[in-house]
Structure 1
Amino acid sequence: MSATVTPNDILQLGMGFWGSKTLLSAVELGVFGELAKAPANIETLTRRLGLHPRSARDFLDALVALRMLERVDGIYRNTSATDLFLDPQKPSYVGGVLEMANARLYGFWGSLTEALRTGAPQNESKGAGSDLFEALYADPERLKRFLRAMSSISAGPAQAIAAKFPWADYSSFVDVGCAQGMVPVTLAHAHAHLTGYGFDLPEVGPVFRGFVENSGLSDRISFVAGNFFEDPLPTADVIVMGHILHDWDLEQKRALIAKAYEALPMGGAFIAYDAIIDDERRQNAYGLLMSLNMLIETTGGFDYTGADCQAWMRAAGFSATRVEPLVGSTSMVIGRK
């Protein structure tokens, strides 16, 4: 007997924004940080979080049903995952990207239909004649939030790159578009022989240096200010670009890969990591949705398959290329000069 066809999956996906916004609001309100201090009952959480009595029970119990909280005998506590990853006081905190999603992306995605019809960005740059990065970098506080968000989505891939790439064969690296510095700090902590640089626009420098200093690595990691389209890239044995190529159109992608090739010594390596789409474009839904996010955020950016990136690398001169999974939906494409 054939299985009964139901609309359940369709409806759950269509209404998925309910659960997403519930989690994003929980991060904004500090639910997980509060419960990291101590489990609490509904009366205590209502008072500490500033919730209206009408909303509190459904809100907290929805988080239980979504498996973001646990409740035993009326006492709420974080799950093991939310305690590790959504407590702002822990170095494993990934909520920065959720903070950005709540403050920026959630509203912008409401204009996806317009983006699909016009091909135009729907973010802060809409109607302003500037691009995403001009708008973000013009506001110091917004820039700090953005850089923290980049650290959140780079932490897992950085640990995987530190573990999977043969760093014993190399002594130096440069992280191009380094943001706060999560990748350089992670690599330097994991491999004591490495020295490295972060390369980004000048406005990033103070945030990067502070992050590196707090990590105790100022003697091995330095910041180099520059524009990766206008200035030469710093030279190193390995050049890393994480969540960079997908921001740009095809011509710009090819130009950045060519600049990486030019800056590397013979035998050097180029690592590009993103939410690499599977070659058949059927499985990595996150990567395909990330590409739609680039539609909303940029004037020409898009995500790409591993085969795409390998072809661009070979066209730039790289002699050997491969794709290697990292964590979740993220993979790295490696080219060797």
Structure 2
Amino acid sequence: MDTRITGATKAMAGEKDAAELSPEGIMQLGLGFWASKTLLSAVELGLFTELAAGPLDCETLRSRLGLHERGARDFFDALLALRMLERDGGAYRNTAATDRYLDCNKSTYVGGMLAGAGQRLYANWGSLTEALRTGKPQNGTEDGEDLFEMLFSDPEKVAMFAKAMTGGSLQAAEALARRFPWANYDTFIDIGTAEGRLPVEVGRLHSHLTGGGFDLPPMRPVFEAYVERHALGGRLSFYSGDFLAGPLPSAEVLVMGHILHDWNLEVKRKLLAKAHSALPKGGALIVYDQIIDDERRENAAGLLMSLNMLVNTNGGFDYTRAEGIGWVREAGFAEVRCEHLAGPHSIIVGIK
């Protein structure tokens, strides 16, 4: 697959000059799952973690990963052509990016999201057409069954989901920790925290802050283990609860990252109202998602994420900047602003 910037890749990035795609670009976009599944399988096999210790020749790498000899060389060389691997002579090694982000032993690992995609989302997206016809999720849940009830019923699924959320929030968490004026506040709580990537990143950079993460009870051991690995147990705590059934914990800053898009409009509004009630006067609510541009033309990642909500939830959907700002204002916040954060992510900040 040619990795040069084509009309198809520009369209995925939301660039305006990609209005007319070449036949090659159309084919690359339509068959994009070939490259996607190649990467997902590499993550599932632990290929990049295996190579983190040093380069390996084809036969050694094939043997360590337990692969049949028929497809192994094509598999490795496809990853080379996709710029996921490098090769010197006959030895394969990670690129700088795959070594940093796809070695599961590094704190910068984002492969949890890709592992979850390979194990769960890839199959669900295979039924996108059915979801478009019926409006129903294609994740194996029964009619009316909640996705999170299914995920949180099994400790292994809890751990997998938590790692996926860490991978998906790494870029946004790093940017938010650096750009928000945390010096003006003393306490914060991340709502729907999963492993706690956002609290750890914020706590690591701002030693005056205390707080932690709020999530369902099964997430406690996962959160506490992750926080302890980063030596922040003295300042970051787990707050147990169900934000659909009860109030939110109180702090000067509440964060909702990748939370609102999981729910229908009624629940979105209820969660924002609960945040307003939990904050003190002058407190801040931070919402971040892959917020769609108001013209619904440019942020392809946000629009595709909204389709992901269709496939995986009962009522979730992503939203535009204007919609999000409007809901936050309706919840009672006096000062509301929206700004780009990182990649496809933007934040909406409301001050009580």
Shared fold per TM-score greater than 0.5: yes
Check the 8 A contact 2:190/2:212 in 1, yes or no. Answer: yes
Does residue 1:285 correspond to 2:300, yes or no?
Answer: yes
SS at match of 1:76: strand
Within-5 A mapping of 1:93-104:
93-104=109-120
Match of 1:83 in 2: 99
Q: How does 1:258-337 map to 2 (within 5 A)?
A: 258-337=273-352
Match of 1:163 in 2: 178
Q: Is residue 53 of structure 2 the alignment partner of residue 37 of structure 1?
A: yes
What corresponds to 1:135 in structure 2? 150
Preserved CA contact (<8 Å) 1:173 1:197: yes
Write the deviation string for residues 200-257 of structure 1: whole angstroms up to 9, x where unpaired. 1111111111111221111111111111121111111001001000000011101101
Gaps of at least 5 residues in structure 1 are: none
Query: Which residue of 96, 118, 124 maps to 2:134?
Result: 118
Cα deviations by residue, 1:120-157 (Å, 9 ceiling, x for unpaired): 010031x3641110110011101100001101111221
Letter in 2 for 1:233: L
Amino acid at match of 1:39: P
Which of 37, 59, 70 is the aligned partner of 1:54? Answer: 70
- Counterpart Cα distance in 1 of 2:234 and 2:294: 41
- Looking at structure 2, the residues matched to 242 and 202 of structure 1 have their Cα atoms a distance apart, in angstroms, of 19
Q: Structure 1 counterpart of 2:174, which letter?
A: Q
TM-score, length of structure 1 as denominator length:
0.97
Over 3 Å counting, the alpha-carbon distance change for 1:72 and 1:247 in structure 2 is same
Q: Which runs of 5+ in 2 are unaligned?
A: 1-19
Q: 1:172-191 alignment to 2 at 5 Å?
A: 172-191=187-206
Deviation string 1:288-311 (CA, Å, 9 cap, x unpaired) is 000000001111000011111100
Measured after TM superposition, the shift of residue 8 of structure 1 is 1.1
In 1, Cα distance between equivalents of 2:143 and 2:297: 36
Tell whether the 8 Å contact from 2:144 to 2:314 is kept in structure 1 after alignment: no
In 2, Cα distance between the equivalents of 1:144 and 1:6?
43
Which whole-Å CA distance do the structure 1 matches of 2:160 and 2:220 have between them? 15
* Stretch of structure 1 that moved more, 241-250 or 198-207: 198-207
Alignment CA distance shift 1:143-1:310 (3 Å): same
TM-score by length of 2: 0.93
3-state SS in 2 of match to 1:12: helix
Residue type of the partner of 1:307? A
Q: Which amino acid aligns with 1:93?
A: Y
Residue 207 in structure 1 maps to residue 222 in structure 2: yes
CA contact (8 A) 1:124 1:135 kept: no
**Cα distance in 2, alignment partners of residues 76 and 86 from structure 1:** 15
Whether the 8 Å contact between 1:177 and 1:199 is mirrored in structure 2 is yes
Cα distance per residue 1:31-52 (max 9 Å; x no partner): 1111111101111111111111
Contact 2:166 2:194 in 1 (8 A): yes
Residue of structure 2 in register with 1:8 after alignment: 24
Q: How many residues align?
A: 333
Q: Is the 8 A contact 2:286 2:347 kept in 1?
A: yes
> Root-mean-square deviation (CA), in Å?
1.2
Question: In structure 1, what residue type is equivalent to 2:184?
Answer: D
* Amino acid across the alignment from 2:31: M
Contact in 2 for aligned 1:269/1:334 (Cα 8 Å):
yes
The question of whether the paired residues in 1 share the 8 Å contact of 2:85 and 2:94 is answered with yes
Partner residue of 1:226 out of 241, 252, 255? 241
Separation in structure 2 between the aligned mates of residue 89 and residue 225 of structure 1, nearest angstrom: 28
